[in-house]
Amino acid sequence: MDPSFAGRRAIVTGGGSGIGAATARLLADRGARVAVVDRAEGADVVADVRDAAAVDAAVGAAERLLGGAADLVVASAGIYRIAPLLEMDAGEWDDVLATNLRGVFLTGRAAARRMVAAGVPGAIVNLASTAALVSDAAEPTAHYNASKAGVVSLTRQMAVELAPHGIRVNCVCPGVIATPMLRLMDDPEAGERYLRESVPLRRLGAPEEVAEAIAFLASDAAAYITGAALPIDGGSTLT
């Protein structure tokens, strides 16, 4: 076991699959005690991140499981929907914003309150997306893009407000990553063309590669980094 996170207590929301699951595994492999929060049965703590009371209760339950306040939080819970702007109804918009942006806010607020109350410095890493940085005419996702742009802005504000408490806040902006949410390869020919023409590294990313970046931002090696939004996209935002 790599002991680089020995003694750390971590909460990972959306840790039941994809990037969240890869991150939970990596942190545990490196010595952290990890509590996975997910709305799917089988998580350490089952909760819906859209619900303020449920998030507060989940963070409290995770604290009890971990034996103290978490000093490392990864807000990974999210959903992806495709809908053209002119056909999108308000309910679709609200659902995506509630999960992807409200959920990150509620998670960060609940965890940070407990860190501050316990006098525990720490790190929060939020999951944004390259959709916060660029648009995509081929796959219209105005609600998703807006939610992830909100995560980037929220991260920066959290970083400023929590810095006096010794809490760093950063976010990662994954591009096309091979997770259950990915829709790019539903049409393999179109997907391969996108990778060839729009991703300089010409391949999908792996959840484990995003997890490595998250672990770096949460580690002491990133002690002077806060408020950053790190693209992990094979260079797609460069094209």
Which residues are identified as catalytic?
A: 144
Distances (CA, A) of 10 to 46, 107, 153: 16, 13, 23
Query: Rounded CA gap, 49 and 66, in Å?
Result: 19
Give the pair of three-digit tokens for residue 70. 């978490």
Three-state DSSP class for residue 97: helix
The amino acid at residue 94 is: D
Contacts of 196 (CB under 8 A, 6+ apart): 202
In degrees and rounded to multiples of 5, residue 47 shows phi and psi of -160, 155
Contacts of 61 (CB under 8 A, 6+ apart): 35, 45
Query: Rounded CA gap, 37 and 59, in Å?
Result: 8
Query: Rounded CA gap, 79 and 148, in Å?
Result: 11
Distances (CA, A) of 162 to 74, 139, 177: 16, 36, 30
Packing angle of the helix pair 103-118, 52-66 (nearest 10 deg)? 40
